[in-house]
Structure 1
């Protein structure tokens, strides 16, 4: 009996990467947008976990959580965009929430897991990176 294959493994992998990349990127962008749209009030009580000052720390977090997250969602400069996101989640989990219970670190660790996985796997075929690669071959 033949097994019917509706989609190739490549199509399913690319679709899974699109869903994971777009979902994580857009959800993270909401965190960055909240910080960006309330910059002044966030600046008053934003932590300085790595000693650069609250203003620089907040700007770096906004860059990662909003701009890099949007790049991730569309698959543009994916691996480069993931580096600031990974660093931000490492700092959030292990510096900013170092003494907090696991429940307070859980979200940043979840994002960290997704971001590291995407870094290792790449953007997939349904991304701007893949489109740019295809066009550069011609």
Structure 2
């Protein structure tokens, strides 16, 4: 194990995963909360990018952006919670904003990059999943 600034690589990796997971999850949850708290108003203007109807589309986006984002922030069912978030960001970037300039797609693509990275790396030890795995290994 290498030491960097008196900390092991493992500690730094878990700290980085914690920071990335919590910050991305909470930022996305605030985005989802805005849709949830203004559901009736949003329903009148929400697009139907994949043909399910605006009400179903909005409900699925709220599920991903609020509830899955909270699960991501605490690190519970992390990889499973990331799947809806990845799908929503793909739809937002390439379908809902597909004809828009890059500046309109940028936020979705940034979140997509973070979510795919977390999906590949996992939540880290400092998460609910990490604690469950630790208890199951004893």
Q: Name the TM-score, length of structure 1 as normaliser.
A: 0.96
Q: Classify the secondary structure of the residue corresponding to 1:27.
A: helix
Matches of 1:4 and 1:47, distance apart in 2: 48
Map of 1:40-59 to 2, 5 A cutoff?
40-59=40-59
CA-CA distance at 1:64 after TM superposition: 0.2
Which residue is 2:18 aligned to?
18
2: CA distance, partners of 1:39 / 1:132: 35
**2:6 aligned counterpart, secondary structure:** coil
Q: Give the corresponding residue for 2:98.
A: 98
1:19-71 per-residue CA deviation (whole Å, 9 max, x = no partner) reads 00000000000010000000000000100000000000000000000000000
Structure 2 gap segments, 5+ residues each: none
Report the equivalent of 2:76: 76
1:67 is matched with: 67
Q: Aligned equivalents of 1:4 and 1:86: distance in 2?
A: 32
**What is the aligned length?**
136
Determine helix, strand or coil for the equivalent of 1:125: coil
- Once the two structures are TM-superposed, the CA of residue 136 in structure 1 deviates from its matched residue by 1.6
Measured on the aligned residues, the alpha-carbon RMSD in Å equals 1.1
Match of 1:123 in 2: 123
CA distance in 1 between counterparts of 2:42 and 2:60 reads: 13
Pair 18,4 (structure 1): closer, same or farther in 2 beyond 3 Å? closer
- Normalised to the residue count of structure 2, the TM-score between the two structures is 0.96
